[in-house]
Amino acid sequence: MRTELMQESICWDLSANVTADYAYANKEFSYFCPHSVCLQEVRPKRIVNAHFFAPELHVAGCPNEPENAEGDGTALKPSKKASIVGAPSVPTELGPAKSWRAKRSKPTKSELFALANALKGSAPSCAGTLKDVVDAWLRMPSEQKAEKPLLINDENFSYESGFYCLSSFGETPVEELPCTSKVIYGMARVKNDETCYWITSVKAFHCADNKVNLIINVPKNGSLTANYLNNLFETDESTKSFTLFYFGDVPKLSASGKSYGISKDISDDYRRFVLAPA
Ligand SMILES: [Zn+2]
């Protein structure tokens, strides 16, 4: 019996376990209940949170049957509890959920049975924004990071190898920062000025004879990025420490030569920065 929304299913087209968010972004695929006693076709749907429902109902006794189902699998009205969402899933991929063109014909029961057995226990595929990926990284105990897969630009990493700490960068020119292939992170100070925010990396990079920090200047102009920082600065403190995460273009030296700039626009969900209180 299920007391939370159904959030995982088998995707026949990808031969993989997937989350409801993934399926909701790829509705053209065929999805099935993963329990070999059931294997009913399910479809993604979103009211508040994405989840799966079975138009033909789950087979009686399937662990995905809603809690108040009758013994024969009929009269299914989900109880209130059934709208509870489980813990957020850990993205296995940074980037928008991919739409695949290839469509496969519907599987037979025995093909599905074989796939369900092969996929038993494997983590669901789930694409996430940079913020989703960073949140999962922050929640994850260190010893699990090497085991959790993370696909970035079609390259296989783990939550350990896909993240790169700025402090290990040494004296190398900033152009070699792996921020187009991995999520880079490091300590940053954020100053709350009258008209703008200044985000400055603690790590400084060699540039000619100088040491130059990554600096993002965000004007307080009501933009998405300004509002994002407003929310992080609910208290009156003028300076705060954060961990800065970034994935995107290589930092560019400013005209004055005194700072390296990275994108200050966070409207892109994937190539942007994220701050987490240190
Ligand atoms: Zn089922």
pLDDT digit string, tens, across residues 22-63:
888 888 889 999 999 999 999 999 888 889 999 999 999 899
* Domain boundary residue, one of 72, 101, 127: 127
* Domain boundary residue, one of 79, 109, 127: 127
137 backbone dihedrals φ, ψ, rounded to 5°: -60, -40
| Residue 101, pLDDT score | 54
Q: What is the Cα–Cα distance from 146 to 25, expressed in whole angstroms?
A: 28
Residue 180 lies in a domain: yes
Which has the closest alpha carbon to 18: 158, 123, 109? 123
Beta bridge partners of 152: 94, 155
Ligand 1 centre from 53 Cα, in Å? 9
Ligand 1 centre from 94 Cα, in Å? 29
Q: With 0.85 as the threshold, say if the pTM is over it.
A: no
Q: Provide the token pair at 20.
A: 């409801």
202 and 187 Cβ atoms separated by less than 8 Å: yes
Ligand 1 centre from 70 Cα, in Å? 14
Ligand 1 centre from 62 Cα, in Å? 5
Do residues 120 and 176 share a domain?
A: no
> Which is more confident, 91 or 186?
186
Do residues 203 and 98 share a domain?
A: no
- CATH number of the domain to which 238 belongs: 2.40.50
Ligand 1 centre from 125 Cα, in Å? 19
Ligand 1 centre from 32 Cα, in Å? 8
| Residue 81, pLDDT score | 46
Ligand 1 centre from 127 Cα, in Å? 24
Ligand 1 centre from 35 Cα, in Å? 6
Do residues 169 and 107 share a domain?
A: no
Residue 133 lies in a domain: no
Number of residues written out for the chain: 278
31 and 51 Cβ atoms separated by less than 8 Å: no
Residue 150 lies in a domain: no
pLDDT tens digits along 75-130: 445 444 445 555 667 888 898 766 555 567 889 999 999 999 999 988 788 788 99
Ligand 1 centre from 44 Cα, in Å? 14
Domain coverage including residue 222: 164-277
Q: Provide the token pair at 222.
A: 């009501």
Ligand 1 centre from 150 Cα, in Å? 28
Residue 138 lies in a domain: no
Do residues 181 and 119 share a domain?
A: no
Q: Provide the token pair at 29.
A: 């695929």
Do residues 114 and 177 share a domain?
A: no
Ligand 1 centre from 59 Cα, in Å? 6
Number of domains, the chain:
2
Do residues 113 and 170 share a domain?
A: no
Residue 198 lies in a domain: yes
216 and 262 Cβ atoms separated by less than 8 Å: yes
Do residues 14 and 113 share a domain?
A: yes
Q: What is the Cα–Cα distance from 125 to 13, expressed in whole angstroms?
A: 13
